[in-house]
């Protein structure tokens, strides 16, 4: 029973442990502000302190009201408040003077300056250093408990989201569109988990439709059991290509295929037998490839699994609403009023189609999972299709239809391997790995020092593919370029892995400083270089970067953060040294900073479904 399954999995919802970090009590006490959590984001405390400075000077403003207006400042400024937003009586200049006149520097806020309508605030550096490092340290990722790490939050606690992504078609090519859906979807699944949601990752296979009648006919002619078992995806594709060419010329083949699919829809076991085997073998093969991409699904479902009853009920309801019209024996839903055209929902021979299955499928999923939100990661080429079935569900009166979201993305242009066009996922992975391997071999000395070059090449290759895919706004098209994405120079995946490896080497290279005491036991005031403050502030902003990504569903925000952090590290690396620093206390404080940077970069990469490397 559907409702039982929803209830039983509710009982299994993860409960998040409280953060092991507490704001030290030797600092001036701050009021609480709803929606903030200083135990997971220290910058929240600084923003509250700033809001308090302004609210105290400009009654009747409350700390809550000001808090909403404390924004990140432009370069060199920590936080900025734009005074006009509060619509207070009096001149802006006067208001600013009031704040500045009343301001007393303390352990939270170091200074305030006034520039036209803006007030710029600087956080107390020593507090910022100490708390940020301490918090990151306290929330370090634990591979055993898998506790939510630094950057995570409780926003989605108690809520369940289904994220449907990848969804390739069995026996057709896995095109780059599916690759993008896979990469973006895996990121969203990690992101929602990091924000406290219960996530169900779902793969909705294209495993149904007339083409399976066609393949069945083709399989009788060209099928080969051995080839099927060796690589089901490839073999079925070959069969499909051959029989499609025939069907194009010969209407008899088409009729035969349609009749076969008709039998499948009627549940004729004989007609379904082979199909079941194909599906199982294909899923097995896909699961292996997803694992190599560090992508996992909780549920493999597919168009074949949408219950006939759900589709019939949907059509019945649409008829009641007078939204259905007949067209030459086929049924159409008329959405012209909503500027979404007319769409066929049942073919003339009575068989279902893609759109109907999406309508019935959504109803079925809600019955089964009672989700609070459902996200579909589907190419922008299907914007119309998605808008149509969302609209139909809304017209059918389902309250939950409002909680459906389409996360779309643009095209990938020109992906091919050196041997030709890419049609399969494993070709993409293999090519990424070989191109990277060749690249690594160019530096023989370094190459020989790598312990497991095959593994490293594959991981970096995959990182390159993923970063290229997520570097810009989803909706942008981009051209696939192996050389560019796999270079160690410029903003690429290999560059990020290199930054992480370099940070990871610091413990190996300075064993005499280990074990490093907790940051609270270190003298972080020795971190005096401007680069260190910049890095710390960036690290402190990471929980906000995660929250923003949750709002925008854009992986690019996380990618940009990872690059900014890596650039920050690069510019500190030569001057803010650990090895060779005579003052051991200073060396330790610096090491703590680099380790925090390693942990946060690692967290960002994991969020992007990338496995951070420790050696290369
Ligand atoms: N619920 C959905 N329609 N999901 C997207 C499915 C994508 C479809 N299998 C395709 O390859 O085009």
Q: Which two tokens stand for residue 34?
A: 């709803």
Residues 430 and 567 in one domain: yes
In a domain, residue 155? The reply is: no
Confidence check: pLDDT of 7 > 90: no
Query: Residue 5: what pLDDT?
Result: 40
Q: CA nearest 141: which of 533, 578, 616, 595?
A: 595
29 inside domain: no
Write down the pLDDT at residue 306. 96
Query: Into how many domains does the chain fold?
Result: 3
| Reported confidence tier of residue 616, pLDDT bands at 50, 70, 90 | confident
CATH number, residue 48: 3.30.1360.70
Q: Are residues 485 and 397 in the same domain?
A: no
E-strand stretches of 463-603: 478-479
- C-alpha 170 to ligand 1 mean position (Å): 11
Ligand 1 center from residue 167 Cα (angstroms): 6
For the entire predicted model, the pTM comes to 0.94
Residue 548 has pLDDT above 80, yes or no: yes
Mutate to test the pocket of ligand 1, among 165, 170, 203, 204 (most ligand atoms within 8 A of CB): 204
Domain membership of residue 403 (yes or no) is: yes
Which one has a higher pLDDT value, 531 or 177? 531
Is residue 90 situated within a structural domain? Answer: yes
Question: Is residue 373 located within the same domain as residue 244?
Answer: yes
CATH number, residue 510: 1.10.730.10
Residues 374, 440: one domain?
no
Tally of CB atoms within 10 A around 224: 12
Statement to judge: residues 125 and 224 lie in one domain = no
Q: Residue 75 pLDDT > 80, yes or no?
A: no
E strands, 477-589, in order? 478-479
Does the structure show a pLDDT above 50 at 8?
Answer: no
Taking CA atoms only, the protein residue closest to ligand 1 atom 1 is 358
Q: How far is the centre of ligand 1, averaged over its atoms, from the C-alpha of 168 (Å)?
A: 7
Q: Is residue 446 part of a domain?
A: yes
Burial class (CB in 10 A: 0-12, 13-18, 19+), 235: buried
pLDDT at 370: 98
Closest by Cα among 61, 55, 32 to 45: 32
Pocket of ligand 1 (CB under 6 A): 164, 167-169, 204, 206, 358, 376, 378
Average pLDDT, integer, range 504-518? 95
Q: Which of 412, 434, 451 is the last residue of a domain?
A: 412
Pair 303, 444 in one domain: no
pLDDT above 70 (res 3): no
Asked whether residue 318 is assigned to any structural domain, the reply reads no
Largest CA distance in the chain: 89
Domain encompassing residue 446: 425-472+481-607
Element (H, E) at 420: strand 420-421
pLDDT digits (tens, 9 = 90+) for 26-71: 999 999 999 999 999 999 999 999 999 999 999 999 999 999 999 9
More confident residue, 249 or 416: 249
Top mean-pLDDT range of 325-339, 368-382, 481-495: 368-382
List the one residue out of 101, 96, 102, 98 whose CA is nearest residue 114.
96
Q: Which ligand 1 atom lies nearest to the CA of residue 382?
A: 12
What would the pLDDT profile of 147-203 be if each residue is shown by its tens digit?
Answer: 668 999 989 999 999 999 999 998 787 888 899 999 999 999 999 999 999 999 999
Using CA atoms, how far apart are residues 331 and 325, in angstroms rounded to an integer? 6
- Asked whether the ipTM of the predicted complex exceeds the cut of 0.95, the reply is yes
Tokens of 614: 């420790």
Does residue 139 form part of some domain?
no
Confidence band (pLDDT; 50, 70, 90) for 6? very low
Q: Which of 175, 196, 170 is nearest to 378 (CA)?
A: 175
| Sheet of strand 324-327: strand arrangement | 324-327, 330-334, 342-346
**Where a domain ends, among 390, 412, 434?**
412
Q: What is the DSSP string of 88-141?
A: -SS-HHHHHHHHHHH----SSEEEEEEETTEEEEEE-HHHHHHHHHHHHHHT--
Specify the range with the lowest mean pLDDT, choosing from 133-137, 482-486, 537-541, 574-578: 482-486
How would you label 342-379 residue by residue, b for 16+ Cβ within 10 Å and e otherwise? Answer: ebebbeeeebbbbbbbbbbbbbbbbebbbbebbbbbbb
pLDDT number for residue 421: 77
Report residue 253 as tokens.
């083949």
Indicate whether 1 pLDDT > 70.
Answer: no
Asked whether residue 593 falls in the same domain as residue 461, the answer is yes
Give the residue, out of 353, 382, 386, with the most ligand 1 atoms within 8 A of its beta carbon, to mutate for a pocket test. Answer: 382
**Whether residue 285 sits in one domain with residue 208:** yes
Residue where a domain stops, chosen among 412, 433, 455: 412
- Burial (CB count <10 Å: 0-12, 13-18, 19+), residue 145: exposed
Same domain assignment for residues 273 and 242: yes
Is 316 a member of any domain? Answer: no
Residues 485 and 405 in one domain: no
Q: Are residues 99 and 176 in the same domain?
A: no
pLDDT above 70: percentage of residues in the chain: 96
**Structure-block tokens of residue 156:** 């989605």
pLDDT digits (tens, 9 = 90+) for 291-327: 999 999 999 999 999 999 999 999 999 999 999 999 8
Q: Are 394 and 432 found together in one domain?
A: no
Residue 526 has pLDDT above 90, yes or no: yes
């Amino acid at each position: 029973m559907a409702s039982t399954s929803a209830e039983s999995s509710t009982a299994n919802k993860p409960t998040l442990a409280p953060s092991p970090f507490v704001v030290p009590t030797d600092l001036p006490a701050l009021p609480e502000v709803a929606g903030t959590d200083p135990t997971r984001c220290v910058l929240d405390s600084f923003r509250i302190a700033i809001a308090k400075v302004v609210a105290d000077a400009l009654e009747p403003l409350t700390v809550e009201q000001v808090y909403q207006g404390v924004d990140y400042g432009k370069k060199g400024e920590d936080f900025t408040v734009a005074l006009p937003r509060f619509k207070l009586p009096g001149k802006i200049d006067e208001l600013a003077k009031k704040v500045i006149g009343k301001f007393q520097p303390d352990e939270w806020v170091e200074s305030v300056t006034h520039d036209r309508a803006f007030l710029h605030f600087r956080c107390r550096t020593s507090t910022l250093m100490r708390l940020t490092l301490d918090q990151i340290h306290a929330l370090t990722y634990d591979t055993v408990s898998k506790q939510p790490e630094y950057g995570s939050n409780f926003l989605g606690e108690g809520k369940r989201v289904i994220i449907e992504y990848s969804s390739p078609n069995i026996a057709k090519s896995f095109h780059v569109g599916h690759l993008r859906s896979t990469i973006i979807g895996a990121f969203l699944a990690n992101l929602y988990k990091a924000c406290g949601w219960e996530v169900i990752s779902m793969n909705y296979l294209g495993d149904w439709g007339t083409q399976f009648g066609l393949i069945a006919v083709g399989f009788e002619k060209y099928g080969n059991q051995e080839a099927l078992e060796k690589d089901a995806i490839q073999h079925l594709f070959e069969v499909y290509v051959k029989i499609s060419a025939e069907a194009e010329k010969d209407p008899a083949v088409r009729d035969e295929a349609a009749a076969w699919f008709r039998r499948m829809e009627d549940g004729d076991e004989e007609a379904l037998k082979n199909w079941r085997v194909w599906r199982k073998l294909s899923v097995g093969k896909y699961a292996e490839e997803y694992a190599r991409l560090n992508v996992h699904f909780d549920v493999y479902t597919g168009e074949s699994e949408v219950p006939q009853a759900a589709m019939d009920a949907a059509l019945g309801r649409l008829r009641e609403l007078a939204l259905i019209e007949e067209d030459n024996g086929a049924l159409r839903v008329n959405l012209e009023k909503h500027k979404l055209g007319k769409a066929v929902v049942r073919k003339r021979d009575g068989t279902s189609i893609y759109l109907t299955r999406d309508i019935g499928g959504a109803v079925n999923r809600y019955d089964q999972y009672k989700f609070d939100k459902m996200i579909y990661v589907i190419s922008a080429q299907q914007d119309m299709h998605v808008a149509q079935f969302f609209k139909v569900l809304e017209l059918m009166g389902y309250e939950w239809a409002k909680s459906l979201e389409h996360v779309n993305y643009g095209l990938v242009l020109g992906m091919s391997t050196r041997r030709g066009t890419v049609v399969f996922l494993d070709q993409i992975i293999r090519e990424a790995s070989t191109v990277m391997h060749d690249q690594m071999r160019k530096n023989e000395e370094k190459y020989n020092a790598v312990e497991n070059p095959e593994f490293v090449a594959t991981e970096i290759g995959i990182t390159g593919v993923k970063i290229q895919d997520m570097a810009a706004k989803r909706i942008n098209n981009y051209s696939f370029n192996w050389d560019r994405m796999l270079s160690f120079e410029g903003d690429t995946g290999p560059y990020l892995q290199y930054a992480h490896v370099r940070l990871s080497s610091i413990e190996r290279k300075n064993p005499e400083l280990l074990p490093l005491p907790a940051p609270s036991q270190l003298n972080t005031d020795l971190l005096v270089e401007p680069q260190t403050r910049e890095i710390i502030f960036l690290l402190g902003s990471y929980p906000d970067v995660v929250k923003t990504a949750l709002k925008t569903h854009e992986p690019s925000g996380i990618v940009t953060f990872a690059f900014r952090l890596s650039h920050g590290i690069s510019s500190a690396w030569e001057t803010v040294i650990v090895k060779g620093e005579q003052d051991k206390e200073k060396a330790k404080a610096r090491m703590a900073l680099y380790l925090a940077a390693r942990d946060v970069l690692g967290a960002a990469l994991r969020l992007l479904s990338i496995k951070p490397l420790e050696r290369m």
